[in-house]
Amino acid sequence: MTASNPVSRWSAWAPQLLSVLRIVAAFMLIPGGTMKLFAFPAGMPPDGSTAPMMSQIWIGGVLELVGGALLLVGLFTRPVAFILSGMLAVAYFQFHAPQGFWPSMNGGVPAVLYCFVLLYLSAAGPGPWSLDALRKRQ
């Protein structure tokens, strides 16, 4: 058995793991939207409320919920991921960066990480386990 054999077998899973990355990222985005819109599973800090309708936070919640649902099933993945990446860049620079330079100190690590994961998904696509891939085959 050569050293490259296990590596090549693991590398063969890259397309499926791209789908897993998309699904997990989407699954983690959706509760951010439901929190802002419906106070589920909890409301927004500090008082557990929801975002006022048509406010910037509310629009972000709609993008997280609808965009997250589309990403979860892998439908329109590239444009949705690009829009969400931009939303998270705005969120970082508007809400976190003014609190200080370092993301680990200003609470912005999730926003930065999601921004770049979603930017990657906008370029890489949804992976094979997606409605986009299913639509392409037909």
How does pLDDT run across 2-43, given as a tens digit for each residue? 557 888 899 999 999 999 999 999 999 999 999 999 999 999
Percent of the chain with pLDDT over 70: 98
In sequence order, what DSSP letters do the residues of 58-99 get, joined into one string? HHHHHIIIIIHHHHHHTSSHHHHHHHHHHHHHHHIIIIIGGG
Across the range 73-84, mean pLDDT stands at 98
Residue extents of the structural domains in the chain: 15-130
CA dihedral 46, 52, 29, 40 (to 10 degrees): 60
Q: What is the pLDDT of residue 3?
A: 56
Contact predicate 80/67, CB 8 Å? yes
Nearest to 126 by CA among 3, 26, 12, 1: 26
Encode pLDDT of 46-70 as tens digits: 999 999 999 999 999 999 999 999 9
Q: What is the pTM of this model?
A: 0.92
